Structure 1
């Protein structure tokens, strides 16, 4: 398969409303996410002396050791130099949204108490990981961050293409090695489980509304199928030049990108036109540009 033929990609009608850069949308994501994070940490992690990852985990460890202030306020103080870094190295918008997230998390932690009576430490680690991961994922869907290590991780990713996960892995490795001098091994293991679940849920939350399906359709009736896609799905498509290894003939290969809801309808359109068509589906994490989501610029 090589080359391109005539393309409809991005030219089909669209009714998508892009709110990714709207202030109200970002503030809503950050507020709800920060509330969920604070509940997950305060109601589950801290009562069992679990150490969350990142700067909040460092703040929790400092609280367990000193008993001075609370993890929320220690986290706020530790974030001050990081926010100065964000102001000069990332962007002012990123700084403002991230600062708002940290202030919101601190206030929610101090003034909102939602008891979650989980007595088993392992169950608390699992529940805290799910709740905290979902809240952190909501915040990261905005143009800001949860503050803390996110600030440094985003800068390193933009400047040097260093994966955010690698930054967290290195920091958390050092954090848990230091925790061994203060906390029992069982607590460290439970904390590792919590952080692992948090990371998984964050990834799932980030991809919740971004996942798409790339579909390749090989059919002699590709032209007719493309017209049905445009009219019935109101979705664009692109023709690629294909060359059959067996038939030794050129033919159009239709490529389009759809969401999970549209996929079954696209399958029906394809095989209604041509029951001998080849229908290939590939998962993709994110599609940026054209009539899809805009590129995130912090």
Structure 2
């Protein structure tokens, strides 16, 4: 994906609209009917909704998001701020417009489904230059200012939230809510990495130059020479390093072993590869 495409307004608005709509629908159609707390600022809103039953879940989410966005105005870029504000409004609108619920009776299945929907929506929105608002604003601001990992901020906040929830919810509902948050975080990470995941490959062979040429000709990927030395033999040799996408792994393997059946090859997962012909660095 080229830089202009990634940074275009219509593409970001499309991702945020789709992702935020899924998040709002997942909360209203699955989490709320079963009394789950979804984590983050939306979880705080749901907790107050269950305690008071005065305002709608969407209204509580919007109210608790106001101080978060006031903090975010000073802690994140204006672009991220306004994209995320739009994302929050779409989430609130989706929650308000969703009527009824998804007919899932088993609480565990409902928790898994809710976590899956909310995580998918959040992951899609995070593929843009914004988010669905809420805790994401604080997490990104703290990450940029103090280099705190977004996952650490989320974990700390939710730990406090669920500790407080024990005072108002029964243990079963709190445990189901933990399942929602766990599935949500895993699915979000999956969506964030599904388009960026690559394989890095290290190849050790006595035919390094032939293999490098074959990779460039057949797989159309660049190769870097790393200078290595065998610990036992003491012989110097060229170690090859390359990066491919998942669709190219088998072709690379066949290319390497057609040249040298005795080659030693290591495949590893690279969750995010930045640079020429791969992903561009995303700047909020």
Q: TM-score w.r.t. structure 2 length?
A: 0.95
Q: Is 1:257 aligned to residue 257 of structure 2? A: no
Q: Which of these residues, 80, 83, 94, is aligned with residue 108 of structure 1? A: 94
Q: Is the 8 A contact 2:104 2:110 kept in 1?
A: yes
Task: Name the CA distance, whole Å, in 2 between partners of 1:224 and 1:43.
Answer: 58
Q: CA RMSD in A?
A: 1.4
1:209 is matched with 195
1:268 is matched with 254
Runs of 4+ off more than 4 Å? none
Q: Is 1:25 aligned to residue 8 of structure 2? A: no
Q: Is 1:229 aligned to residue 215 of structure 2? A: yes
Q: Is 1:63 aligned to residue 45 of structure 2? A: no
The 3 A distance-change label for structure 1 pair 113 and 234 is farther
Q: CA deviation at 1:74?
A: 1.4
Q: CA deviation at 1:114?
A: 6.6
Q: CA deviation at 1:52?
A: 0.7
Q: Is 1:190 aligned to residue 173 of structure 2? A: no
* SS of structure 2 residue aligned to 1:48: coil
Q: Is 1:99 aligned to residue 114 of structure 2? A: no
Question: Deviations 1:11-52 (Å, cap 9, x if unpaired)?
Answer: xxxxx5343222222111111111111121111100011111
Q: Which of these residues, 113, 121, 137, is aligned with residue 135 of structure 1? A: 121
Task: Name the CA distance, whole Å, in 1 between partners of 2:51 and 2:206.
Answer: 71
The 3 A distance-change label for structure 1 pair 276 and 38 is same
Task: Name the CA distance, whole Å, in 1 between partners of 2:186 and 2:2.
Answer: 29
1:160 is matched with 146
List aligned pairs for 1:20-99, cutoff 5 A: 20-99=6-85
Q: Tell me the matched-pair count.
A: 283
The 3 A distance-change label for structure 1 pair 231 and 113 is farther
Q: TM-score w.r.t. structure 1 length?
A: 0.91
Question: Deviations 1:60-91 (Å, cap 9, x if unpaired)?
Answer: 11111111221112111221222222222110
Unaligned runs of 5+ in 2: none
Question: Deviations 1:217-252 (Å, cap 9, x if unpaired)?
Answer: 112222122222222222111111111223322111
Unaligned runs of 5+ in 1: 1-15
Segment drifting more, 197-206 vs 82-91: 82-91
User: Looking at both structures, which has the greater relative contact order when contacts are Cα pairs under 8 Å and sequence separation is at least 6?
Assistant: 1
Segment drifting more, 257-266 vs 23-32: 23-32
Task: Name the CA distance, whole Å, in 2 between partners of 1:113 and 1:222.
Answer: 63
Task: Name the CA distance, whole Å, in 2 between partners of 1:187 and 1:146.
Answer: 25
